[in-house]
Amino acid sequence: GEDVEQSLFLSVREGDSSVINCTYTDSSSTYLYWYKQEPGAGLQLLTYIFSNMDMKQDQRLTVLLNKKDKHLSLRIADTQTGDSAIYFCAESRLGGGFKTIFGAGTRLFVKA
Amino acid sequence: SAVISQKPSRDICQRGTSLTIQCQVDSQVTMMFWYRQQPGQSLTLIATANQGSEATYESGFVIDKFPISRPNLTFSTLTVSNMSPEDSSIYLCSADGRDPPYEQYFGPGTRLTVT
C-alpha cells in the first residue's frame, strides 16, 4: 500500500526527550522528511534525511533511518513547551511525477 | 525557499454556495498542490495543479466540485462548489521546491465552516 504510518499522540514532560516513530512502504523513496505544524499554521519542514544516510543530527533533533525495516524516527532532546505541535512524517516518490506522501501526524503534548 | 499566502484565512459559508480560495507564491513554481485537512487529522491531497494544463485530481475528488485554476507560475485558486457541512475543513495550498530536498512549502491554510 501507499501508507506512511505513525502514532497519533505522544505526551512528554518538559526537559525529557521525545521520540516520534514512523514506518513507510516505498523502498525507493529518495528523501524522508519531518514536517511540523503549529496551531493555526501550515506545515513547515523541520528536517529531512537522504535515503543513503542512517542518521542526521541538527541541534536538538536526531533523525534515524532504518531502511531494512522502513522505519524513520525523530528524537527531540530537551523537549520544550514550544515543541508542542503536530509532527508529520513524509516520503518522496519519483516515477510518474514527483509525489510526497504524508503520514497522519503525531500530536506532541509537552507538559510543564 | 518560497513564501505562500492564502486568502481568505477563514470563512463561514451557507450550504449550497461556493467559495474560491486564492493561493499566491512569492516565486515561480512548477507544481502546486491543494490539500484538505480535517481538524486533528492528516492531509488529504485533492489535486495537483500545473500551469498550462488541467489539474490532476485524486480519487474521490472531481473537477465539478473542486474546480482549480492555475493561470501562471505564481498563482492558483481552488473553488469549493455547492458546499455542504461535510466540506467544513482546512484547505491548504502548497508548492514544490525546485532544488533538493524538494520540500513542500505550505500556505497557512483557509479554515472553512459550512452551516
Note the pLDDT of residue B100.
82
Rounded-to-integer distance, Cα B114 and Cα B31, Å: 29
Note the pLDDT of residue A97.
60
Asked if A48 contacts B101 with a C-beta cutoff of 8 angstroms, the reply is yes
What pLDDT band is residue B97 in, cutting at 50, 70 and 90?
confident
| Whether A103 contacts chain B with CB within 8 A | yes
Q: pLDDT tens digits, residue range A67-86?
A: 999 999 999 999 999 999 99
Residues 6+ apart with CB under 8 A from A101: A2, A3, A4, A24, A26, A90, A91, A93
CB spacing of A44 vs B96 below 8 angstroms = no
CB spacing of B102 vs A98 below 8 angstroms = yes
| Whether B94 contacts chain A with CB within 8 A | yes
Q: Alpha carbon of A28 to those of A56, A69, B3, B100: distances in Å?
A: 19, 13, 29, 16
- Residue A43, min C-alpha distance to chain B (Å): 6
Note the pLDDT of residue A27.
75
| Whether B106 contacts chain A with CB within 8 A | yes
- Residue B33, min C-alpha distance to chain A (Å): 10
How large is the average pLDDT for residues B63-72? 95
pLDDT at B89 over 80: yes
Q: pLDDT tens digits, residue range A87-101?
A: 999 998 765 566 788
Give the best residue of B4, B102, B110 to mutate against chain A (max A CB count within 10 A): B102
**Which H or E run includes A89?**
strand A85-93
A79's grid cell = 523537549
Residues of B in contact with A87 (CB under 8 A): none
- Among candidates A88, A98, A103 on the partner chain, residue whose Cβ is nearest the Cβ of B96: A98
pLDDT at B109 over 80: yes
| Whether A100 contacts chain B with CB within 8 A | yes
- Residue A51, min C-alpha distance to chain B (Å): 11
Q: pLDDT tens digits, residue range A5-58?
A: 998 899 999 999 999 999 998 877 789 999 999 988 889 999 999 988 999 999
CB spacing of B108 vs A88 below 8 angstroms = no
pLDDT at B22 over 90: yes
Neighbours of A37 (CB within 10 A): 21
Rounded-to-integer distance, Cα A35 and Cα A46, Å: 5
How large is the average pLDDT for residues B61-85? 96
Residues of B in contact with A102 (CB under 8 A): 42-43
* Candidate from A1-5, A20-24, A99-103, B41-45 with smallest mean pLDDT: A1-5
Note the pLDDT of residue A1.
45
How large is the average pLDDT for residues B78-106? 93
Rounded-to-integer distance, Cα B83 and Cα A85, Å: 30
